[in-house]
Amino acid sequence: MDVLDWLRAALGDEAVASGVLSTDDAELEAARTDRSGWIADGRPLAVVHATTVEHVQATLRAASEFRVPVVPRGAGTGLAGGANGTDGSIVLSVTGMNRIVEISADDELAVVEPGVINADLNAALEPFGLWFAPDPASKAISTVGGNIATNAGGLLCAKYGVTREAVLALDIVLPDGRLISTGHRTVKGVTGFDITALFVGSEGTLGVIVGATVRVLPIPPGVPTTIGALFPDVRTAAGAAARVTASRLRPAVMEILDGPSLERISAYLGEQVIAEAFGVTHGGSYLLTQFDGLSAADDAEAAAQVIREAGGTVEVSVDAEAGERLLAIRRAFHPALAATGEVLIEDVSVPRSRMAEMFAAIESISARHGIAIPTVAHAGDGNLHPNFVYSGDVVPEAVWDAANDLFRTAIELGGTLTGEHGVGVLKRRWLADELGPDSYDLQVKLKSVFDPLGILNPGKVFG
Amino acid sequence: MDVLDWLRAALGDEAVASGVLSTDDAELEAARTDRSGWIADGRPLAVVHATTVEHVQATLRAASEFRVPVVPRGAGTGLAGGANGTDGSIVLSVTGMNRIVEISADDELAVVEPGVINADLNAALEPFGLWFAPDPASKAISTVGGNIATNAGGLLCAKYGVTREAVLALDIVLPDGRLISTGHRTVKGVTGFDITALFVGSEGTLGVIVGATVRVLPIPPGVPTTIGALFPDVRTAAGAAARVTASRLRPAVMEILDGPSLERISAYLGEQVIAEAFGVTHGGSYLLTQFDGLSAADDAEAAAQVIREAGGTVEVSVDAEAGERLLAIRRAFHPALAATGEVLIEDVSVPRSRMAEMFAAIESISARHGIAIPTVAHAGDGNLHPNFVYSGDVVPEAVWDAANDLFRTAIELGGTLTGEHGVGVLKRRWLADELGPDSYDLQVKLKSVFDPLGILNPGKVFG
């Protein structure tokens, strides 16, 4: 009896008949990759499409019995290779566990299965006047479980926090198949160690999240006000963003597009789009700022003044349509790049005060390596996404050389090699550099408390 | 050579001469207790007054060498017996490590040593227009390190979060004396497991926090508006609080005082204080609500309407002085109780929607045990502080019997036996009930990753 025989017996005939266990070629192939484009060597044994906690437990028990690796997977929208099905593994997909179990408006929380799509949760919350703040660019297609596993961020984190701040409690299946519950349904609670927080950003290496109680927030009242501003270069745009922060205003969104980005966006959208909004063809950098809440218009007026003084050519939205025009420039970033080739989206974070230095370093790394690196930054929180456009199936080693310089610079500036995408496979070779040997060693030991057999997502994060 | 000889040698003559190592009787005695009133049996060996990281490292190395327990301690303001010096231990006080190392207005963070008093940090931040949101009642006397060790809460958590949300990075000395750094100076970061969060609320059982990088926030602009409301009973007050939450308004403060509390406060302040504010002598419950930010007055007006409709006799502050009068009633809670005897401050938390049930359970537990339990609740987040007034040096077993009923009820209602004070010694006998055996076992194993010799604060949290 091999692991799949054992697993079939554990899942039961009914589950197997309904397709919970798949060894279909196309599915096995698809499970080898994610949105990073990285493709795992070899091939997984099977994909389990779990629809119940029991399916997850059966899979982990089978894997423990036969020492077979398990790769937990949501929608596969990750950008670091964290959910890619490796050779000989069982890919454990939880996208079929997609029920919204409860929305409690009184307690401002939702209880969900891990496969619920972020945007679907928000659609369900909207009638209650509530929303789920984690806002990754993938929110239309990524799962809440995946958001938790990578501690996903997005555009709104300076004001509304990262995913960690939104997770109250988890149901987790441990590698040996036991189900535990962590955390609290309450806002406060300090009974023992915060295992919930330990799982946020753990990239499927400690256990499988089968349920989450997440905090939800009242939808900010009023209409957001949006400011678009063109600058001669990214340095002055970053300076303006710093001055907005220093003014103690609190934008919901503050995004910088650098010169190489804006150039590609202009080409993609057509130059008239920017010309119509600003009366000039294009600038050397774009700063997008948005305020929400009842004081949005007043805050935006004050911020617009700050941005003008910092050298920006400013447009403030007068209505939702005008706001959309200003947002559209930012939204065109990814499509504009994708139109020109394959894209590796990088994800460094630095203290806000070092952002201009990081932009300067990106320029010089770009020049040194002869590779264009169009970059967008969440300027409110110092998270930059330098993007590499390349051709072919595999990221060229020359790109990784340039990325290596990026990561080391971010760490030198007091930052981190991943703000919101995670380590996965693609950044594991730099993890020890950032953590240092003692912390790295502690992390490996922590993993072994949860996963003594090392069956859960081996080769991810820790290499 | 015993542990103290070894430690003297490791600390060095200069440190010893300047009083870093104390075996003074009065100090040893004082270190046996905290603000809970619980006194540890026996007596510690010594108190180390660390002023540098090296002192902390020397202490932990000595303790590891001789397998002597170390009890990390801040200002000793804890309410669960977590920092009490146990028999034969070395108490490691970090109150002398009280430098504010850096305030970065640009990055909205502060770097502090663990012994910095919460209020001192806020005083230093104020000129920058910034503040540190964790707001325990002890903030004038408690340390930031202690706030982190207990994941301290306070009145403002529904809007501004608990301490966990305010901690970005930590410097930690492990039990074997190694210094590690965890976390990020950035808002975002997902490199490995969140060891920083694991330390928040760990009550000195994993390592000694010797430095913290904390997030600070812009001081909300404008003048807060305060609403005081009297209700016939606590049930209607809790209903009004729930309706404020349901209205999706977001008060900074929302506090409920029950009947037994209000009675004692009236006696303490004099009945005319409440009569002057409300035109009636006293009610059966008091709801205090405060809004901050630019929309404070508008929000308060909307909330006042909701509270009136829910049966409250409402006063809205027209100026700071009027606001103070309304706040003074809440502030008198602890002094009013302390004026009548020794007080055990309990600390359960329930989902907001179950708060009225918890109040009802407190009334019935009070009646069943024949013990008055005046209770104040942070109604925005469901954290209740039932208080027991007793006489004598030791909490009577009858009080613990009633507290036992409280804890079990809170857990049954989906809550927790400690919202913000921690487990310490006083709640360890209930911890496994809340966590369940599998989670409890995992927590014990996690501790042993950091503290394999079990020298750090043994007997705390895990009994």
Residues of A in contact with B187 (CB under 8 A): 157-158, 162, 349, 352, 380-383
Tell me the pLDDT of chain B averaged across its residues: 96
The first and second tokens of residue A384, run together, are: 């930059």
Residues of A in contact with B439 (CB under 8 A): 180-182, 192, 195
- Candidates B191, B431, B456: best to mutate against A (most CBs of A within 10 A) is B191
* Residue A463 confidence (pLDDT): 80
Residues of A in contact with B294 (CB under 8 A): 294-295, 298
Model confidence band, residue B364 (pLDDT cutoffs 50, 70, 90):
very high
Q: Which of B104, B184, B295 sits opposite A353 (nearest CB)?
A: B104
Residue A149 and residue A138 in contact, taking contact as beta carbons nearer than 8 Å: no
Spatial distance between the Cα atoms of B275 and B266, rounded to a whole number of angstroms: 10
The radius of gyration of chain A's CA atoms, rounded to the nearest angstrom, is 23
Nearest CA in chain B to A243: B106
The first and second tokens of residue B433, run together, are: 């009930």
Model confidence band, residue B463 (pLDDT cutoffs 50, 70, 90):
confident
The residue-averaged pLDDT of B130-142 equals 97
* B240-275 residue pLDDT tens: 999 999 998 999 999 999 999 999 999 999 988 887
* Residue A283 confidence (pLDDT): 80
Residue B81 and residue B40 in contact, taking contact as beta carbons nearer than 8 Å: yes
Flag if B190 and A201 touch (Cβ within 8 Å).
Answer: yes
* Residue A282 confidence (pLDDT): 59
* Residue B272 confidence (pLDDT): 84
Full DSSP string of A61-85: HHHHHHT--EEEESSS--SSSTT--
Model confidence band, residue B279 (pLDDT cutoffs 50, 70, 90):
confident
Flag if A420 and B200 touch (Cβ within 8 Å).
Answer: no
- Candidates B107, B186, B427, B438: best to mutate against A (most CBs of A within 10 A) is B186
Note whether A147 contacts B: Cβ–Cβ < 8 A.
no
* Residue B282 confidence (pLDDT): 59
Return residues 178-217 of B near A (CB < 8 Å): 178, 180-182, 184-195, 197-198, 200-202, 206
* Residue B281 confidence (pLDDT): 65
Q: Is the pLDDT of residue A231 over 70?
A: yes
- Candidates B131, B188, B407: best to mutate against A (most CBs of A within 10 A) is B188
Note whether A302 contacts B: Cβ–Cβ < 8 A.
no
Matching residue, tokens 């407190």:
B362
Spatial distance between the Cα atoms of B66 and B58, rounded to a whole number of angstroms: 12
Spatial distance between the Cα atoms of A113 and A56, rounded to a whole number of angstroms: 12
Residue A329 and residue A315 in contact, taking contact as beta carbons nearer than 8 Å: no
As a whole-number percent, the residues of chain B with pLDDT over 70 amount to: 100
* Residue B271 confidence (pLDDT): 82
Secondary structure string (H, E, C) spanning chain B: CCHHHHHHHHHCHHHHHCCCEECCHHHHHHCCECCCCCECCCCCCEEEECCCHHHHHHHHHHHHHHCCCEEEECCCCCCCCCCCCCCCCEEEECCCCCCEEEEECCCCEEEECCCCEHHHHHHHHHHHCEECCCECCCCCCCEHHHHHHCCCCECCHHHHCCHHHHEEEEEEECCCCCEEEEECCCCCCCCCCCHHHHHCCCCCCCCEEEEEEEECEECCCCCCEEEEEEECCHHHHHHHHHHHHHCCCCCCEEEEECHHHHHHHHHHHCHHHHHHHHCCCCCCEEEEEEECCCCHHHHHHHHHHHHHHCCCEEEECCCHHHHHHHHHHHHCHHHHHHCCCEEEECCEECCHHHHHHHHHHHHHHHHHHCCCCCEEEECCCCEEEEEEEECCCCCCHHHHHHHHHHHHHHHHCCCECCCCCCCCCCCHHHHHHHHCHHHHHHHHHHHHHHCCCCCECCCCCCC
Q: How far is A128 from chain B (nearest CA, A)?
A: 9
Q: Which of B107, B180, B249 sits opposite A438 (nearest CB)?
A: B180
Ramachandran region of residue A320, left (φ > 0), alpha (ψ -120 to 50) or beta?
alpha
Residue A92 and residue A101 in contact, taking contact as beta carbons nearer than 8 Å: no
Among A86, A90, A92, A44, which residue's Cα sits nearest to residue A68? Answer: A90
Q: Which of A198, A353, A378 sits opposite B197 (nearest CB)?
A: A198
* Residue B227 confidence (pLDDT): 97
Q: How far is A283 from chain B (nearest CA, A)?
A: 26
Q: What does each C-alpha distance from B204 to A196, A407, B22, B130 come to in angstroms?
A: 19, 34, 21, 28
- Candidates B190, B295, B438: best to mutate against A (most CBs of A within 10 A) is B190
Flag if B351 and A414 touch (Cβ within 8 Å).
Answer: no
* B391-419 residue pLDDT tens: 998 899 999 999 999 999 999 999 999 99
* Residue B275 confidence (pLDDT): 79
Positive or negative torsion for Cα B45, B47, B53, B54? negative
Q: Is the pLDDT of residue A277 over 90?
A: no
Q: Kindly list the structural domains of chain A, giving each domain's residue range(s) and its CATH number in brackets, ordered by start.
A: 3-93 (3.30.43.10), 100-218 (3.30.465.10), 225-329 (3.30.70.3450), 337-424 (3.30.70.2740), 425-446+458-463 (no CATH)
* A378-434 residue pLDDT tens: 999 999 999 999 999 889 999 999 999 999 999 999 999 999 999 999 999 999 999
Among A273, A356, A281, A286, which residue's Cα sits nearest to residue A314? Answer: A286
Flag if A295 and B298 touch (Cβ within 8 Å).
Answer: no
* A153-166 residue pLDDT tens: 999 999 999 999 99
Residue A227 and residue A315 in contact, taking contact as beta carbons nearer than 8 Å: yes
* Residue A281 confidence (pLDDT): 65
Any alpha helices (H) in A81-231, and if so which ranges? 118-125, 144-149, 157-160, 195-199
* Residue A379 confidence (pLDDT): 96
Burial of residue B391 (number of CB atoms within 10 Å: 0-12, 13-18, 19+): exposed
Q: How far is A430 from chain B (nearest CA, A)?
A: 10
The residue-averaged pLDDT of B331-350 equals 96
Buried b (16+ CB within 10 A) or exposed e, A348-379: bbbbbbbbbbbbebbbebbeebebbbbbbbbb
* B369-389 residue pLDDT tens: 999 999 999 999 999 999 999
Spatial distance between the Cα atoms of A143 and A116, rounded to a whole number of angstroms: 5
Flag if A416 and B184 touch (Cβ within 8 Å).
Answer: yes
Return residues 87-146 of B near A (CB < 8 Å): 104-109, 129-130
Residue A66: count other Cβ atoms within 10 Å of its Cβ: 17
Residues of B in contact with A221 (CB under 8 A): 248
Spatial distance between the Cα atoms of A82 and B192, rounded to a whole number of angstroms: 12
Q: How close are the terminal C-alpha atoms of chain A, in Å?
A: 30
Spatial distance between the Cα atoms of B384 and B89, rounded to a whole number of angstroms: 33
Model confidence band, residue A271 (pLDDT cutoffs 50, 70, 90):
confident
The residue-averaged pLDDT of A312-333 equals 93
CA angle B195, B198, B202 (to 5 degrees): 135
